[in-house]
């Protein structure tokens, strides 16, 4: 996979715009939103490989709640948390909930790019394992995998 898509969720508009522009310049499909609600609405419509999620967001939903919901919607999407020094504990909680990693704000763009690359690699390896398991299952029980795929397609 050399194509990948990223969703950045941060209410600091300057930061958000800078990151989105820099990633787009590298031909990476990048979308930026300023709230958890907007991010979740987008995730209902399409898949992202990596989400970068600011833990402190305005509005009704905090970062941890958003993370939980994201992992429920798209379990294979890797989430990187952005956190202030005061909320490192929240990040640890987030890691337990399946976040890939966290970065302390202010974030250096280069560090974020490296972390996004690592998250993407992990997702790729994970998906390869799933594909391999499906192939093995197919070779052992040819009927079962097809049935599963039919069931998956039936889902709304
Ligand atoms: Mg914030």
pLDDT at 156: 60
User: How far, in Å, from the CA of 15 to the mean position of ligand 1?
Assistant: 10
Give dist(CA 69, CA 142) in Å, integer.
Answer: 34
User: How far, in Å, from the CA of 76 to the mean position of ligand 1?
Assistant: 24
User: How far, in Å, from the CA of 86 to the mean position of ligand 1?
Assistant: 12
User: How far, in Å, from the CA of 12 to the mean position of ligand 1?
Assistant: 6
CATH topology classification for 5-123? Rossmann fold (3.40.50)
- CB under 5 Å of ion ligand 1: residues: 11, 54, 56
pLDDT in tens, 20-75: 999 999 889 999 999 999 999 999 999 999 999 999 988 878 889 999 999 999 99
Neighbouring residues of 31: CB distance < 8 A, sequence distance ≥ 6: 5, 6, 7, 8, 20, 42, 48
User: How far, in Å, from the CA of 137 to the mean position of ligand 1?
Assistant: 44
User: How far, in Å, from the CA of 69 to the mean position of ligand 1?
Assistant: 18
pLDDT in tens, 88-111: 898 999 999 999 999 999 999 899
User: How far, in Å, from the CA of 59 to the mean position of ligand 1?
Assistant: 11
């Amino acid at each position: 996979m050399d194509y990948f898509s990223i969703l950045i969720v941060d209410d600091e508009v300057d930061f958000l715009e800078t990151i989105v522009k820099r990633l787009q310049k590298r031909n990476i499909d990048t979308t930026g939103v300023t709230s958890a609600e907007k991010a979740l609405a987008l995730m209902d419509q399409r898949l992202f490989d990596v989400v970068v999620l600011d833990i402190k967001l305005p509005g009704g939903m905090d970062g941890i709640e958003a993370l939980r919901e994201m992992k429920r919607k798209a379990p294979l999407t890797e989430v990187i948390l952005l956190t202030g020094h005061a909320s490192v504990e929240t990040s640890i909680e987030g890691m337990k909930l399946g976040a890939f990693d966290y970065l302390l704000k202010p974030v250096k763009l280069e560090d974020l790019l490296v972390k996004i690359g690592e998250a993407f690699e992990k997702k790729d390896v994970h998906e390869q394992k799933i594909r391999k398991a499906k192939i093995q299952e197919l070779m052992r029980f040819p009927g079962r995998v097809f049935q599963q795929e039919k069931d998956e397609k039936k889902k709304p």
